Structure 1
């Protein structure tokens, strides 16, 4: 789809050249939540004025990996950030999408795009915090800091000739959201639920059946405190018990309150995995490993253990269906 730049007046499309030559590739574009905070990814699926959602290109599908940082973090380390790093791993979903992309070349459409949208209120400004949805968690700083994309001034003819006569461009502080640095292309971030986890996108089982708040953004600790921690995200665990939660003043329900029994947690994990398999966003060959990992993670974080040994684990329902077809 062609769009018009509100500042330069130019009209173009990412696919204009390949459409003219009938050489457009098919693409599954996968973004972490971090890309919305640090790289203004919302502009890839909104108009450049930030007022409307764009329809999918016939050559691409877009997927937000909900609540993921850029890459996979070490949950036992804070690095130079304020909170523990975000350990969510998008590899199982990516493997499924790689096969879906391969199927697309044979005429089988991939899963529909899953990104936050302006139209349904899941793509929002980071401030006010109440509108974005992120809860007030004791010990966690929320500033709404995100990157700003400007039409920077590289000289009067740069955007026609590509020759910069002002390089680097003049930048005034503060860097973010400062009209003195040039016209601003509005960008947005994924809205969160009351736990602080992204609502839209491909929600991994850890986001659907959470043991913590996972974010795609983080803030630095130390001398650069509250500056952006770049590609990092955060893992902010839930309290184990209601008493611990209330003593800390944490508004997020505890593990004890969410999952009163192992059976409840087990069933929720199975549904979350099965939904992804059904939607072709997880492979059956990954489902068993994911289930075992998630069940152990729940026990480690305070989900009540089953009485006796772990019960025999049933197969994911949609994997049973696939096995029957073979």
Structure 2
């Protein structure tokens, strides 16, 4: 399977005659040297542009018809809907040093993740590669302040009155409090409870997702609603809190259902991303494209979209709803990296949408995040008979980008990750489209670890220390090479039913070795088909909250080897040459309530015994360090050999070998005991 025909195809799209983009203008509020003018590798210095970008889109254009409530937004004299978003862009000062690609990160709740996951915490890898790096606001829930990027979405009205409707929010605390925001996360707004209907609102709680809801007497709680203003900017949605007599307790799932007013057209967030990329690739006017030169040529001719977690789900949703073609039918993203999105889509485009919500086994389980379709190619929903796939519209419109789906193995437990590559009932492996790669990182958790075990925190185990960031850097380079000149990307690596590296999750089926003192999970995140009322499917309007749960979809997890580590996955040297077991799950500790439920998005770590004698005394079935290695030098040699193999396979960059060696050296004290190396 070759991608060598891809680069000429993309170039043909780039050279399509340009029409006006749907970006009307860029307002650059500040232009300053990035990192005080520090030179970044061979590319040299960068400058940082900050400001606001303005849009006007046509509700009647085919590219916009999937945007829920767009016809109900205010129209300008040209019958277009206007909105705006904050942006930030990093551009080489010496424009000729740019590599021709824009790396657009779909920010996560107003902040970037690439600085940690790809730049590695501060070495500006993306700039050293010559990318134009770009962020823009796409979420209206995000509150102002701390340099967060915000979308100013248009309101949706009927007869000039704000839309009203049913809204459900859910929150879980890790420590007791008198009041809490219903948004479940900091720095987010929520839809305003309608003043004349607050008496009908319902607050309930339960300890576990499947428990019956216990309704709190209405007289015992109240809403506290306040507008957030930061730096003269007012949040589009207010801060909505619940205050309870006697206080709110940790671990409990609190749920509040109420009638809200003031719906906004959140779906324009995806149109804004589309049109920003379109403008930078195709627009010839300086007002619409700040990256053109004196001849009208743009600095960029290809675009990579990158998103982490919620933002990775947004990119999947963006492709599913057909946003990868602009209003003129031109390709926007040439490549997409959807990172730790699991099998999810999101609450991105419906009335009273809440794009910051996710799904977990304990937290936020019933929000619209994990729902059919799950796979990139087409599959049939066994519960509804509907056939669909993430790339179905893109394939039919011949606008499918190159897709890298990267995920930690925690996504299999917490984010229904197996549904990306199986049928919905986990009976067979799904067929992967030729333009899609899946890379599942074994022994890792949703957010990358730092390489060395830390404190236990709120879990029953210390969080997984596996540092998968070097893998991400190599895959960014591989994607750009594929887009630029058709270089074949590294092969997909993910566990499969066909070779039994993907297994059912109970311990006796997954291969879990039964480590004394370690509780293996009895729960997992499984998506359900739910009923949100008769208007949900067609109009994006929920009228049943909480939704009615119907049939479930089936999930699987990576199989486990004798040392407790996962097989069939793309494994770091820390996993293939281990000093312990890196679990892709962790469970809530009694200190934060709901003990035994999954600790959201976390993995764990269980060190090996140092000697055979210690192992036998603990009845640990896994090999000890002394049985695996002759000493630290032996361990390091095997570790570096594993790293060099990944470099040869293009899953790692040679420049990151010293970084991996430094991670390896952190474990040297573990081998200092005279017993280690003696069998």
TM-score, normalisation: structure 2: 0.42
User: Which residue number in structure 2 is paired with residue 154 of structure 1?
Assistant: 532
Query: How far apart, CA to CA, are the structure 2 residues paired with 1:299 and 1:286?
Result: 20
Q: Does the CA-based 8 Å contact 1:123-1:188 persist in structure 2?
A: yes
User: Which residue number in structure 2 is paired with residue 95 of structure 1?
Assistant: 473
Larger RCO: Structure 1 or Structure 2 (Cα < 8 Å, ≥ 6 residues apart)? Answer: 1
User: Which residue number in structure 2 is paired with residue 275 of structure 1?
Assistant: 645
Query: Max radius of gyration: which structure?
Result: 2
Residue from 442, 448, 457 that aligns with 1:72: 448
Q: Is 1:16 matched up with 2:16?
A: no
User: Which residue number in structure 1 is paired with residue 671 of structure 2?
Assistant: 302
Q: Does the CA-based 8 Å contact 1:190-1:200 persist in structure 2?
A: yes
Q: Does the CA-based 8 Å contact 1:239-1:245 persist in structure 2?
A: yes
Query: How far apart, CA to CA, are the structure 2 residues paired with 1:259 and 1:28?
Result: 36
Residue from 199, 203, 221 that aligns with 2:567: 199
Q: Helix, strand or coil: the match of 2:486?
A: coil
Q: Is 1:184 matched up with 2:562?
A: no
The offset of 1:169, in angstroms, is: 1.1
Q: Does the CA-based 8 Å contact 1:212-1:235 persist in structure 2?
A: yes
The offset of 1:73, in angstroms, is: 4.0
Higher helix proportion, which one?
1
Query: How far apart, CA to CA, are the structure 1 residues paired with 2:669 and 2:632?
Result: 12
Q: Does the CA-based 8 Å contact 1:123-1:190 persist in structure 2?
A: yes
User: Which residue number in structure 1 is paired with residue 546 of structure 2?
Assistant: 168
Q: Does the CA-based 8 Å contact 2:632-2:671 persist in structure 1?
A: no
Query: How far apart, CA to CA, are the structure 1 residues paired with 2:387 and 2:535?
Result: 18
Residue from 427, 431, 446 that aligns with 1:51: 427
Q: Helix, strand or coil: the match of 1:243?
A: helix
Q: Does the CA-based 8 Å contact 2:459-2:586 persist in structure 1?
A: yes
Q: Helix, strand or coil: the match of 1:29?
A: strand
Q: Helix, strand or coil: the match of 2:406?
A: strand
TM-score, normalisation: structure 1: 0.85
Query: How far apart, CA to CA, are the structure 2 residues paired with 1:118 and 1:157?
Result: 37
The offset of 1:292, in angstroms, is: 3.6
Query: How far apart, CA to CA, are the structure 2 residues paired with 1:73 and 1:274?
Result: 21
Q: Does the CA-based 8 Å contact 1:255-1:303 persist in structure 2?
A: no
Q: Give unpaired runs (5+ residues) of structure 2.
A: 1-376, 675-679
Query: How far apart, CA to CA, are the structure 2 residues paired with 1:289 and 1:63?
Result: 21
Query: How far apart, CA to CA, are the structure 2 residues paired with 1:34 and 1:149?
Result: 15
The offset of 1:82, in angstroms, is: 0.6
Residue from 231, 234, 249 that aligns with 2:601: 231
Aligned CA RMSD, in angstroms, stands at 1.7
Query: How far apart, CA to CA, are the structure 2 residues paired with 1:153 and 1:303?
Result: 59
The offset of 1:162, in angstroms, is: 3.2
Q: Which moved more, 1:281-290 or 1:12-21?
A: 12-21
Q: Does the CA-based 8 Å contact 2:425-2:553 persist in structure 1?
A: yes
Residue from 404, 408, 422 that aligns with 1:32: 408
Q: Does the CA-based 8 Å contact 1:63-1:113 persist in structure 2?
A: yes
User: Which residue number in structure 1 is paired with residue 486 of structure 2?
Assistant: 107
Query: How far apart, CA to CA, are the structure 2 residues paired with 1:69 and 1:59?
Result: 26
The offset of 1:291, in angstroms, is: 2.1
Q: Does the CA-based 8 Å contact 1:260-1:303 persist in structure 2?
A: no
User: Which residue number in structure 2 is paired with residue 218 of structure 1?
Assistant: 586
The verdict on how the C-alpha distance between 1:303 and 1:120 changes in structure 2, with shifts beyond 3 A counting, is farther
The offset of 1:59, in angstroms, is: 2.1
Query: How far apart, CA to CA, are the structure 1 residues paired with 2:480 and 2:385?
Result: 37
Higher strand proportion, which one?
2
Query: How far apart, CA to CA, are the structure 2 residues paired with 1:98 and 1:149?
Result: 30
The offset of 1:304, in angstroms, is: 6.9
User: Which residue number in structure 1 is paired with residue 233 of structure 2?
Assistant: none
The verdict on how the C-alpha distance between 1:256 and 1:103 changes in structure 2, with shifts beyond 3 A counting, is same
Q: Helix, strand or coil: the match of 1:182?
A: strand
Q: Does the CA-based 8 Å contact 1:34-1:216 persist in structure 2?
A: yes
| 1:259-291 CA distance string (max 9 Å, x none) | 123443233112211110111001000012212
Q: Does the CA-based 8 Å contact 1:36-1:188 persist in structure 2?
A: yes
Q: Does the CA-based 8 Å contact 2:463-2:602 persist in structure 1?
A: yes
Query: How far apart, CA to CA, are the structure 2 residues paired with 1:122 and 1:144?
Result: 20
Query: How far apart, CA to CA, are the structure 2 residues paired with 1:304 and 1:282?
Result: 32
Q: Helix, strand or coil: the match of 1:224?
A: coil
The offset of 1:8, in angstroms, is: 0.9
User: Which residue number in structure 1 is paired with residue 656 of structure 2?
Assistant: 286
